[in-house]
Structure 1
Amino acid sequence: MATIRDVAKLAEVSTATVSRVLNKNGYVNKATETRVQEAIKQLNYLPNDVARSLFKGRSRTIALFVPDITNPFFPELARAVEDYSNHHQYNFVLCNTDNDLEKEIVYLNALKQKSVDGFIIVSNSITEDHLQRINAPVVALDRVFSTKVSSVTVNNREGARKAVQHLKSLGCNRIAHIAGPEKISSAGERRQGYLDEVGDEDWFKPEYVVQGKYDFDTAKKAAIQLLTGNPEVDGLFAGNDLMGAGVLNAAASLGISIPDDLAVIGFDGISISKIITPALTTMAQPIYEIGTRAAELLITQISSENPTIKNETLDVQLIERQSTGERAGEYEG
């Protein structure tokens, strides 16, 4: 493998001159630069990015931390971050953290040692103290973990309220909720939005709220128990689309007709929600816009001498599909 010395020898210049050409740092006359570029091409020389990043303190690399790469929401989010990063000549690293603080800290320390320029993080456990030790720009995504860190989120609580309002408008009189993990802020906000709409109803029962852990299998089991024990439930709001798919599967196993006997609505707007049968009505997040905006905020912070903190909240949109459909009757409040 060719080295910088080999390039310098072939171009008949010093290694310092080759370095200036590679880093576009300092004056090199055009004829000399052309000789160096031709030598690089002839020798198929590849610069040592690690060495260059250590020298410059920059690697033009950003990292995205997600808690569960098997949840389709996060790969769709990652694609947006990667596209924007690559378009602006930044490399992209994806880290799956399993919602494990220790794993997050190991990733943070390891990547900072490699001069990663900044981080986009989905986390409910990282604190300001952890980030101060890293001393690199950070943007929080999907949830907020510090007022001193820029963030991009959606209005989870209002979106959940609209989901329940939609079920009511279809004539649903007993509406249940499959909730995400209690420690995740977005799940708590969606649960609260549901309670805003049903908490004062005389028909509401605490057992109408069950835990689905943002997971298909867990949600399916929870839905089977919920619907078996409470056959009067005719509307169900799932805290994310993955759990919504689990509810549809549970209903099929119980012989419950969707949407005639049970109307179901999810939250997120992931691609799978429109290809499952029946297609899932959802409160869709602008996933690609969220990821793009987070990458834009981070790269701006990396490039700025005096970065400003921005907290942006985007709206969600109701997308009606087969899992709600047309239902007879009116909601009787």
Structure 2
Amino acid sequence: MATIRDVAKEAGVSVATVSRVINSNGYVNEETKKKVEKAIQLLNYKPNAVARSLFKKQSMTIGLIIPDITNPFFPQLARAVEDVTNEKGYTIILGNSDESSEKEQEYLDIFEQKYVDGIILATNTLTVEQIASLGKPVVAVDRPIDSGVPTVVAEHRRGAQAAVRHLLDTGCQTIAHIRGPEHVVSADERCKGYLDIVKDKPWFSDQLVINGHYAINDAYKAASELIKDRPDVDGIFAGNDLMAIGALKAARELGKKVPEELAIIGFDGIDMCETTFPELSTMVQPIYELGATAANMLIELIENRRVNQQYYEYPVQLKVRNSSRGRPPKDVNHADNI
């Protein structure tokens, strides 16, 4: 494999001159530049990416931090980020925060050492001060952090309202909510959407809001207790699809017929919804579009191009399947259900 010294010898110039040509740093006359470029092509020389990043404090690399890669929502999001960044010559470094601010800070330290050019955060454990101290572009996706941080999200609250209205429209009389982790913005917003619709209902009580921590097993356990304690519950809105799947499992094991005795709807629109029995109704987020928009925005910021819009909020769509007492048409935009 050719080295920079081989290129310098072939072109009849110094190593420093070759470096200036490669990094577009400093003056090199046109004739000498052509000699170096010809030598690079002849020897099929590939510049050392690590050395270049150390020199230029750039790496053509983007950091992406997500809460948990085992949640199918996030691989779909990450795929969109990867597709966009690869197309534009960047690569990504992926980190799982596990909802831990300490672990997230560790990844930020690693990103700093790797000279990443920008960061996409699908978490909200960091403070504005921490983000400002990074000194590089940051975009938040799925979970807003601060009005000063460019953000791409879905309509969590309005989507939750639509999900609960759908259950009411199918005839549910007592609707419970399995919420995500407290202080996670998306979970809080979806819980608020649920409360917007049910808080004044005569049957509502705080007992109907349980925490499934965005996880199948936690939701399964919580839903099992709920179904035992409140046999009158005939509708469940789960704050994400994984928790809805946990509720389906609990209903099946406790002999509750879905949807005849218990209607269930989730949120996200992950592919697994089509593999459950019965198939799961859900509020579909445009997951790929969220990731692609965040990646495009970050690259524009990295490359110092004008960003005309720094906040995107995408609508979600009601997808009715067999887990709820659906009415035709099967696909209805959430705005029609609020």
What is the TM-score when the length of structure 1 is the normalising length? Answer: 0.92
* Runs of 5+ unmatched residues, structure 1: 328-333
The aligned residue for residue 183 of structure 2 is 183
SS of 2:68's partner is coil
8 A contact 1:21–1:36 mirrored in 2? no
1:323 and 1:67 map into 2 onto residues whose CA distance is: 28
Aligned partner letter, 1:69:
I
Q: CA RMSD in A?
A: 1.9
The aligned residue for residue 59 of structure 2 is 59
How does 1:83-98 map onto structure 2 within 5 Å? 83-98=83-98
1:85 and 1:217 map into 2 onto residues whose CA distance is: 34
Aligned partner letter, 1:237:
F
Aligned partner letter, 1:243:
M
8 A contact 2:7–2:36 mirrored in 1? no
8 A contact 1:212–1:243 mirrored in 2? yes
2:283 and 2:19 map into 1 onto residues whose CA distance is: 52
8 A contact 1:20–1:27 mirrored in 2? no
How does 1:146-295 map onto structure 2 within 5 Å? 146-295=146-295
Aligned partner letter, 2:105:
I
Moved more, 94-103 or 106-115: 106-115
Aligned partner letter, 2:97:
T
The one-character-per-residue Cα deviations of 1:76-102 (angstroms, maximum 9, x if unpaired) are 100000100011111111111111111
The aligned residue for residue 78 of structure 2 is 78
The aligned residue for residue 3 of structure 1 is 3
Aligned partner letter, 1:65:
I
8 A contact 2:156–2:189 mirrored in 1? yes
* Runs of 5+ unmatched residues, structure 2: 328-338
CA drift of 1:121 comes to 0.6
What is the TM-score when the length of structure 2 is the normalising length? Answer: 0.90
- What percent identity do the matched residue pairs reach? 49
SS of 1:248's partner is helix
CA drift of 1:37 comes to 2.8
Q: 1:27 to 1:89 in 2, by over 3 A?
A: farther
8 A contact 1:273–1:281 mirrored in 2? yes
1:214 and 1:127 map into 2 onto residues whose CA distance is: 22
The aligned residue for residue 38 of structure 2 is 35
8 A contact 1:266–1:281 mirrored in 2? yes
Aligned positions, number: 324
Query: Quick check: 1:320 aligned with 2:320?
Result: yes
Aligned partner letter, 2:188:
G
